[in-house]
């Protein structure tokens, strides 16, 4: 932790302990919601840059990192979205922007529709668009489960390279250190919900400015999906990062911020 990092903390909201990391502390508040197996700390390198102009809160989604976990919790999309709504309320954040990646983008969409006045704008980074009757999400469940089970026994960066071959040594070390905090049933539920809970019907209901950021090499969002999203909500702004896979800031850090531009500050 360095640079813009301020502190890590816990708050009781929506009936659970929610852990978060805060960066910057000045400017427009931004709540960053990571993806399916990304504890908050793994987004620190992005939060550092965002915090140059924003007050950034990076969440540990339930069942991940240092937030509440275990067999008694509901890990469905609605519960995770409700967590974000209550998190912002509990910290008395004034209409923060939501920036969500992958699963986190789906959470951001649902949270914004739960309480539209609570958030000012959305950045939706390569959300899964699979669902009933749609093509499946390109990643497969064993990729997640196998790596989590290895991490529970202890895995190093070299072992993690088999799952994330393009990542830097620093990124691999961080994932190897923290992946064991991802509770397998939470990850399985979220992955299955990618295919059970269609996010497209939520798009026409969005009442705040929204950006859909698409990975050019991710295989998650195709042109037909973009066309459908725009037909449902023509106000959505499309940004592309052509040289990145699904983990956009990992693959093209500068491209991620170039695509984001001044959207969070408008």
Active site residues: 102, 222, 246
| Distance, CA of 160 to CA of 108 (rounded, Å) | 29
Strand partners, 57: 22, 31
| Distance, CA of 58 to CA of 251 (rounded, Å) | 20
Supply angle C-alpha 112, 115, 116, rounded to 5: 60
In the chain, the largest separation of any two C-alpha atoms, in whole Å, equals 48
Find tokens 């912002």 and name the residue.
88
| Distance, CA of 179 to CA of 120 (rounded, Å) | 31
Query: What secondary structure does DSSP assign to 85-103, as a single string?
Result: HHHHHHTT-SS-EEEEETH
Instruction: At 200, list the tokens.
Output: 């497209």
| Distance, CA of 201 to CA of 218 (rounded, Å) | 23
| Distance, CA of 264 to CA of 210 (rounded, Å) | 10
Residues 6 or more apart in contact with residue 192 via CB below 8 angstroms: none
φ/ψ of residue 154, rounded to 5: 105, 115
Q: In which region does residue 42 sit, left (phi positive, over 0), alpha (psi from -120 to 50) or beta (all else)?
A: alpha
Instruction: At 115, list the tokens.
Output: 């309480």
């Amino acid at each position: 932790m360095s640079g813009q990092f301020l502190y890590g903390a816990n708050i009781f909201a929506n009936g659970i302990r929610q852990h978060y990391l805060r960066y910057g502390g000045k400017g427009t508040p931004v709540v960053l919601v990571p993806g399916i197996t990304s504890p908050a700390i793994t987004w620190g390198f992005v939060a550092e840059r965002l915090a140059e102009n924003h007050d950034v809160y990076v969440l540990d989604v339930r069942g991940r990192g240092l937030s509440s976990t275990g067999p008694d919790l509901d890990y469905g999309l609605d519960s995770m979205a409700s967590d974000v709504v209550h998190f912002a309320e509990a910290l008395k954040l004034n209409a923060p922007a939501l920036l969500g990646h992958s699963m986190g983008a789906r959470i951001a969409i649902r949270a914004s529709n739960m309480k539209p006045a609570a958030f000012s704008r959305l950045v939706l980074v390569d959300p899964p668009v699979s669902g009933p009757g749609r093509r499946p999400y390109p990643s497969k469940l064993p990729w997640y489960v196998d790596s989590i089970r290895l991490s529970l026994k202890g895995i190093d960066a070299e072992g993690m390279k088999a799952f994330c071959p393009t990542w830097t040594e620093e990124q691999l070390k961080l994932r190897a250190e923290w992946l064991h905090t991802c509770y397998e049933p939470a990850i399985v539920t979220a992955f299955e919900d990618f295919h059970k809970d269609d996010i497209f019907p939520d798009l026409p209901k969005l009442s705040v400015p929204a950006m859909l950021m698409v990975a050019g090499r991710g295989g998650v969002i195709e042109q037909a999906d973009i066309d459908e999203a725009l037909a449902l909500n023509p106000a959505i702004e499309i940004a592309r990062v052509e040289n990145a896979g699904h983990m956009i800031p990992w693959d093209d850090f500068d491209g991620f911020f170039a695509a984001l531009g001044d959207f969070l500050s408008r």
